[in-house]
Amino acid sequence: EDSFAEKFLDNTFNVFKSIDNILYLVYTNSYNSIICYNLLDNKKINEIKNAHLYSISNFRYIYDKENKRDLILSISRKEDNAKLWNIKNLECLVNIININEADYLLSGCFLKHKNDNYIVTINCSYPYNYEIIKIFDFEGNKLKQISQCNYPTNFIESYYDNKSLKSYIITGCDGFVKSYDYNKNRIYHFYSDGNNNDGHFSIIINNAEETIKLIGSSYDGKIRIWNFHSGELILKIIVSSNKLYGICLWNNEYLFVGEKEIKLIDLKNGIIVND
């Protein structure tokens, strides 16, 4: 009941099973705290009070395999600030401040590249001052940037292809989704659907089958599924006349969609199961 989330944003909380086999829920409250909750025992484990100066807008989780630790990335949109935390001892490993010159740090994620993990950030500034994608290491050093990002960007995600051993960055923009080849530092594909100019605010990669699928939600009330490597539009599902936000795979056949109510989508048949 004490949870807090900003409107219109995805990844406002995180659920993961830790190295200690604890099922964690990590969320924030109105006092900018980070709260670690045990879902099985139904109780709070820890709380990092005043973790940021302003409200926490996003969380991301990664298991640091090399160092055998569970890590959380917390982002404060208004503060333009990202922090990396070790969940085991609540230690703040890095505090990246003043990431952008203008406007908000709207979204961030982890990026796997070979045996290393990085932090990726993007801002969103309307109607100008679009800033480039920035990549940081776990020490807070800016290692790289991708300059071909000159459009309002609402969401950022990453994907590591285990077959090709390549890393990709994916952005949800107004009217399309765009992917970048991290190795070559250039645009990989545009994913669009005609004259749709609505924003894309959540993206998932489903790599369970031979065809790697990119699934995105849009403000026009539709779910779109593209072939990630070819850019081909595979399926378009009309969910609602309302804006769609966060999406979450239940399994390879079904998808949860955040609207006014949570809806379950049959991905193979393109229908709503619980309208």
pLDDT above 90 (res 170): yes
| pTM, entire model | 0.92
Residue 25: is its pLDDT beyond 90?
yes
Concatenated DSSP letters for 58-124?
EEEEEEETTTTEEEEEEEETTTTEEEEEETTTTEEEEEE----SSSEEEEEEEEEETTEEEEEEEEE
pLDDT digits (tens, 9 = 90+) for 201-222: 899 999 988 899 999 999 899 9
Distances (CA, A) of 233 to 173, 177, 200: 16, 11, 15
Give the residues across from 79 on adjacent strands: none
pLDDT of residue 76: 92
The H-or-E segment that residue 52 falls in is none
Report pLDDT digits (tens) over 110-166.
999 988 999 999 886 555 566 788 999 999 999 998 877 767 788 899 999 988 899
**Within the chain, how many helices (H) and strands (E) appear?**
0, 24
Specify the 3-state DSSP secondary structure of 15.
strand
CA angle 75-81-85, nearest 5°? 60
Q: How far apart are CA 27 and CA 214, in angstroms?
A: 27
The residue type found at 212 is I
- In the chain, % helix, strand, coil (3-state, to 5) comes to 0, 55, 45
CA geometry: angle 86, 89, 90, nearest 5 deg: 60
What is the per-residue pLDDT for 145?
87
Instruction: Give the contacts of 69 (CB within 8 A, at least 6 positions apart).
Output: 19, 63, 86, 87, 88
Rounded CA-CA distance 116/99 in Å is 21
For range 250-267, the mean pLDDT: 88
Query: What is the DSSP code string of 142-188?
Result: EEEEE----S-EEEEEEEEETTTTEEEEEEEEBSEEEEEETTTTEEE
Mean pLDDT of 96-108: 82
More confident residue, 143 or 103: 143
pLDDT at position 57 is 92
Instruction: Give the dihedral sign, CA 238/189/214/96.
Output: negative
Rounded CA gap, 239 and 265, in Å? Answer: 8
Question: Quick one: pLDDT at residue 127?
Answer: 55
